[in-house]
Amino acid sequence: MPVFDSLPPALLLQEAHLPWKHLERARRRFHRLLPAYSLYAGRPRKEADREEWTQVVTLVHVNMFGRATILDIKQELAAAAHDAPDARLHVHFVKLTESRTEATLLLGNIY
C-alpha cells in the first residue's frame, strides 16, 4: 500500500500505564500530536475498573481506522482469569481492513 511507504498502518504500544479514566483525554492528545493516527484501547468492564490501568494501546493510521475493530476476547480470557486475573489489561486484538483492497490485518498487542 503506497500510503504506508513512510508511515506504518499501526503502532503497538506497551507499558502504556494509561488509567481507563483518562482514555478519552489520551485519545484527543494522541490525535492532536499524531494527526495521522487514532488510538485504540480496550474498555473497562465496569465502572469500578475505571481506576485500573491498561498496559497496551494501539495507534491505527487514519486510512485504516474507519474499518478497524477491537475484537471481543472476554470468553477466551475467562479461561485464564483464575491464573491471570489482570490479563485483559495486557492484551487486545485489532482487526484492520484496508478499504481499497479489502486486505485484512489482525494485530495482537500482547504485553
Which residues contact residue 2 at a Cβ distance below 8 angstroms, ignoring those fewer than 6 apart?
none
Q: What are 56-105's pLDDT values in tens digits?
A: 888 888 877 677 788 778 788 788 878 887 777 788 888 888 777 888 88
**Residue 4: what pLDDT?**
54
pLDDT band at residue 107 under the 50/70/90 scheme: confident
Answer positive or negative: Cα dihedral of 47, 82, 110, 71. Answer: negative
Residue 85 φ/ψ, nearest 5 degrees: -65, -25
